[in-house]
Structure 1
Amino acid sequence: MLFTKASEYAMLSLILLSQANHPKDVDTISSELGISKSFLAKILQNLAKEGILHSFKGANGGFVLADKPSNLSIKRILESAEKRKVNVFECANSRCDCPSSKGDECKIWPMFNDLQGRIDEFLDQITLTDIIKK
Structure 2
Amino acid sequence: MQLNITTDYAIRIVYYLALKEETITASELASVLKIPVNYISKITKKLKAAEIVQACEGIKGGYALMKKPGMISLFDIVSSMEVTMKINRCLEPDGFCSRNATDYCNVHKALLNVQKTYEDALKSVTIADLI
TM-score using structure 2 length: 0.86
SS in 1 for 2:51: coil
C-alpha contact 1:55 1:63 (8 A) present in aligned 2: yes
Q: Cα offset for 1:40?
A: 2.2
The aligned amino acid for 2:47 is: L
Equivalences, count: 129
2:129 equivalent to 1:130: yes
SS in 1 for 2:91: coil
Q: Cα offset for 1:2?
A: 4.9
- Structure 2 CA distance, aligned partners of 1:87 and 1:2? 12
Kindly provide the CA deviation profile for residues 62-86 of structure 1, in whole angstroms up to 9, marking residues without a partner as x: 111111111111111111122x442
2:100 equivalent to 1:103: yes
List aligned pairs for 1:107-126, cutoff 5 A.
107-126=106-125
2:86 equivalent to 1:90: no
Question: CA 1:21/1:76 → structure 2, altered by over 3 Å: closer, same or farther?
Answer: closer
The aligned amino acid for 2:123 is: D
C-alpha contact 1:93 1:116 (8 A) present in aligned 2: no
Q: Cα offset for 1:90?
A: 3.0
C-alpha contact 2:89 2:95 (8 A) present in aligned 1: no
CA RMSD of aligned residues (A): 1.9
TM-score using structure 1 length: 0.84
List aligned pairs for 1:1-134, cutoff 5 A.
1-82=1-82, 84-94=83-93, 96-98=95-97, 101-105=98-102, 106-132=105-131
SS in 2 for 1:18: helix
* Unaligned residue ranges in structure 1 (runs of 5+): none
